[in-house]
């Protein structure tokens, strides 16, 4: 109660509803940025691995399993992004 | 920042896998104790299956191995030209143009000595810009002059037209061959230097290495036997040495002094170490094989330093070439009943 009395209120020209809506919007933007950027990161990483994997499989079919495994390892990056997005949105 | 494109990575990985599939040293050692039919069966079980199966009905014995190896090499080289992207394709084609020289000279030499077309065809390797159809057309011609005329549109024509009359007169094509190779190196250096293509620098590094090794081999060969020819004609420009260095190196009589001088000009540590070892060595065959080995090792090193450039492609092309040479030497050696130790000396492993 005392603290509330000391902190001066600042007029930002917004109603409480507007501020709440902005906060939700910012969260959505944050989640989008998290998934989007990590997606690009994954894509860059998978580009090299994927083309090498296709090359290796073209020469030797036995490598398919391992090649696929290596190709999807950078997916972890986008999964981190997804987790962060979910945390931002729902927690 | 990502500086290499996906097609480069794709092709370089394929080359790497193919290189890994080449025959290892132990297999050669095992083959040294085999007979011709056993060797045929052995290579049929490796990468040469298709060729051996296809040609099995038409040829047998040593000829089957020879033709199958040539076909396989040509097929392999054509395939690589198909899959290589952009600049890599251009450089691969430039590198493979040397087979045009070899094929055309084989035909000219064969025709000059009256060898049958079928026999000449067996040893052609249509890996360059002239494909088998064109080579067949040359083979069908009666006279060499007509063959030269047919090559009018080809980049080799000016040198051929200039050098052929004297070669015909003397019956020796070595001068013409030197001129053609000189022109070839000049052209590929120009291709590599034309700054418009990315990756030219790494191609140039390879060409210089090859020219250096080639000149060193020529020098050692010149020491092994005397020649009437002007040594300056045998020099290939573009490497570390200049023509004057070449001539003065050739003039040195003492082997050790010569090697010291050559070492002072050597660009890589591996080559310097090898030259040091070669002091006192006399066998020219052994020296050549070891120089080739150093070249391959150096190329391997370059391909590791630039994993997604022309180098992995070139290493594979060279190693494949030597695999075919080795198998041919092995089969030929067995055919002439040479002892295994003698054959092993000829192998580049």
Position B228 confidence tier, pLDDT thresholds 50, 70, 90? low
In chain B, pLDDT over 90 holds for what percent of residues? 5
* Spatial distance between the Cα atoms of B264 and B214, rounded to a whole number of angstroms: 17
- Tell which of B3, B9, B46 to mutate to test the A interface (max A CBs under 10 Å): B9
Q: For residue A42, is it within any domain?
A: yes
For chain B, give the mean pLDDT: 84
- Give pLDDT tens digits for B183-204: 888 888 888 887 666 778 888 8
Q: Is it the case that residue B293 has pLDDT exceeding 50?
A: yes
Position A10 confidence tier, pLDDT thresholds 50, 70, 90? low
Q: For residue B277, is it within any domain?
A: yes
- Give pLDDT tens digits for B159-183: 888 888 887 788 788 888 888 888 8
Give chain A positions within 8 Å (CB) of B13.
51-53, 55-56
Report the interhelical angle of B98-112 vs B86-96 (nearest 10°): 20
Q: What range does the domain containing B294 cover?
A: 6-346
- Tell which of A59, A61, A62, A64 to mutate to test the B interface (max B CBs under 10 Å): A59
Q: With an 8 Å Cβ cutoff, is A56 touching chain B? A: yes
In chain A, pLDDT over 90 holds for what percent of residues? 79
pLDDT of B337: 83
**CB distance B10–A47 less than 8 Å?**
no
pLDDT of A78: 95
DSSP H helices in B117-252? 117-122, 132-140, 144-150, 157-170, 174-193, 200-224, 231-234, 243-251
How close is the nearest chain A Cα to the Cα of B79, in Å? 12
Q: Is it the case that residue B338 has pLDDT exceeding 70?
A: yes
* Spatial distance between the Cα atoms of A69 and B17, rounded to a whole number of angstroms: 18
Q: Is it the case that residue A8 has pLDDT exceeding 80?
A: no
Q: For residue A7, is it within any domain?
A: no
Nearest CB partner across the interface for B14, out of A48, A50, A59: A59
Q: For residue A41, is it within any domain?
A: yes
pLDDT of B3: 66
Position B1 confidence tier, pLDDT thresholds 50, 70, 90? very low
Q: Which residue has the higher pLDDT, B230 or B183?
A: B183
pLDDT of A6: 60
Q: How many CA atoms lie within 13 A of B216 on its CB side?
A: 30
Q: What is the CATH number of the domain that holds A52?
A: 1.20.20.10
How close is the nearest chain A Cα to the Cα of B122, in Å? 28
Per the rule left: phi > 0, alpha: psi between -120 and 50, beta: everything else, B280 is left
Q: For residue A66, is it within any domain?
A: yes
Q: For residue A1, is it within any domain?
A: no
Q: Is it the case that residue B155 has pLDDT exceeding 90?
A: no
Q: Is it the case that residue A53 has pLDDT exceeding 80?
A: yes
In chain A, pLDDT over 70 holds for what percent of residues? 87
Yes or no: say if B300 and B316 are a contact pair by the CB < 8 Å rule.
no
Q: Is it the case that residue A65 has pLDDT exceeding 90?
A: yes
- Quickly tell me which residue has 């076909």 as its tokens: B71
Q: What range does the domain containing A81 cover?
A: 17-90
- Give pLDDT tens digits for B8-56: 899 999 999 999 988 888 888 888 888 888 888 888 888 888 888 888 8
Position B142 confidence tier, pLDDT thresholds 50, 70, 90? confident
Q: With an 8 Å Cβ cutoff, is B58 touching chain A? A: no
Q: Is it the case that residue A3 has pLDDT exceeding 70?
A: no
Q: For residue B1, is it within any domain?
A: no
pLDDT of B186: 87
Q: Is it the case that residue B253 has pLDDT exceeding 80?
A: no
Nearest residue of B to residue A44 by CA position? B2
Structurally, chain A folds into a number of domains equal to 1
Yes or no: say if B96 and B76 are a contact pair by the CB < 8 Å rule.
no
Structurally, chain B folds into a number of domains equal to 1
**CB distance A54–B18 less than 8 Å?**
no
Q: With an 8 Å Cβ cutoff, is B307 touching chain A? A: no
Q: Taking Cα atoms as reference points, which of B267, B256, B328 lies closest to residue B294?
A: B267
Nearest CB partner across the interface for B6, out of A51, A58, A60: A51
- Tell which of A43, A46, A47, A48 to mutate to test the B interface (max B CBs under 10 Å): A48
Interface of B with A in 8-27 (CB under 8 A): 9-14, 17-18, 21
Q: For residue A12, is it within any domain?
A: no
Q: What is the average per-residue pLDDT within A30-40?
A: 96
Identify the three-state secondary structure at position B33. coil
Q: For residue B177, is it within any domain?
A: yes
Confidence (pTM): 0.85
Q: Taking Cα atoms as reference points, which of B153, B69, B139 lies closest to residue B104?
A: B139
- Tell which of A51, A54, A64 to mutate to test the B interface (max B CBs under 10 Å): A51
Q: Could you give the C-alpha distances from B227 to B245, B250, B336, in angstroms and in order?
A: 18, 11, 29
Yes or no: say if B231 and B250 are a contact pair by the CB < 8 Å rule.
yes
Q: What is the average per-residue pLDDT within B145-150?
A: 82
Query: What's the ipTM?
Result: 0.77
Give chain B positions within 8 Å (CB) of A44.
2
Q: Which residue has the higher pLDDT, A70 or B132?
A: A70
Secondary structure (DSSP) of chain A: -HHHHHSPP---S--HHHHHHHHHHHHHHHHHHHHHHHHHHHHHHHHHHHHHHHHHHHH-GGGHHHHHHHHHTTHHHHHHHHHHHHHHHH-
- Give pLDDT tens digits for B61-111: 888 888 888 888 988 888 898 888 888 888 888 888 888 888 888 888 888
* Spatial distance between the Cα atoms of B213 and B201, rounded to a whole number of angstroms: 19
Q: Is it the case that residue A37 has pLDDT exceeding 50?
A: yes
């Amino acid at each position: 109660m005392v603290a509330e009395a000391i902190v001066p209120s600042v007029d930002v020209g917004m109603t409480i509803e507007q501020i709440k809506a902005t906060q939700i919007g910012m969260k959505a933007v944050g989640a989008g940025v998290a998934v989007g950027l990590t997606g690009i990161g994954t894509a860059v990483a998978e580009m090299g691995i994927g083309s090498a994997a296709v090359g290796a499989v073209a020469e030797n079919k036995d490598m398919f399993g391992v090649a696929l495994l290596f190709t999807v390892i950078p997916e972890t990056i986008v999964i981190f992004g997804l987790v962060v997005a979910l945390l931002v949105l729902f927690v | 920042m990502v500086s290499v494109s996906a097609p480069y990575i794709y092709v370089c990985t394929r080359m790497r896998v193919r290189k890994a599939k080449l025959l290892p040293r132990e297999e050669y050692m095992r083959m040294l104790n085999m007979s011709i039919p056993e060797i045929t069966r052995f290579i049929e079980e490796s990468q040469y299956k298709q060729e051996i199966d296809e040609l099995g009905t038409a040829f047998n014995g040593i000829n089957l191995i020879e033709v199958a190896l040539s076909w396989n090499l040509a097929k392999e080289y054509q395939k690589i030209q198909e899959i290589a992207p952009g600049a890599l394709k251009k450089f691969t084609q430039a590198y493979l143009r040397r087979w045009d020289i070899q094929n055309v000279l084989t035909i000219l030499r064969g025709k000059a000595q009256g060898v049958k077309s079928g026999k000449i065809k067996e040893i052609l390797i249509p890996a360059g810009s002239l494909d088998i159809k064109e080579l067949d057309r040359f083979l069908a011609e009666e006279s060499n002059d007509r063959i030269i005329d047919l090559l009018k549109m080809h980049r080799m024509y000016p040198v051929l037209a200039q050098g052929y009359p004297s070669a015909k007169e003397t019956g020796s094509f070595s001068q013409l061959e030197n001129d053609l190779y000189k022109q070839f190196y000049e052209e590929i250096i120009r291709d590599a230097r034309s700054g418009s293509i990315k990756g030219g620098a790494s191609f140039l590094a390879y060409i210089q290495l090859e020219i250096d090794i080639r000149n060193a081999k020529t020098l050692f060969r010149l020491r092994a036997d005397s020649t009437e020819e002007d040594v300056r004609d045998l020099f290939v420009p573009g490497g570390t040495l200049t023509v004057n260095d070449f001539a003065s190196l050739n003039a040195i009589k003492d082997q050790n002094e010569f090697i010291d001088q050559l070492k002072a000009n050597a660009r890589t540590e591996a080559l310097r170490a090898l030259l040091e070892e070669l002091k006192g060595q006399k066998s020219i065959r052994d020296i050549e094989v070891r120089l080739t080995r150093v070249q391959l090792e150096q190329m391997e090193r370059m391909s590791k330093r630039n994993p997604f450039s022309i180098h992995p492609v070139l290493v594979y092309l060279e190693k494949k070439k030597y695999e075919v040479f080795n198998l041919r030497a092995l089969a030929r050696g067995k055919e002439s009943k040479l002892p295994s130790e003698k054959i092993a000396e000829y192998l580049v492993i």
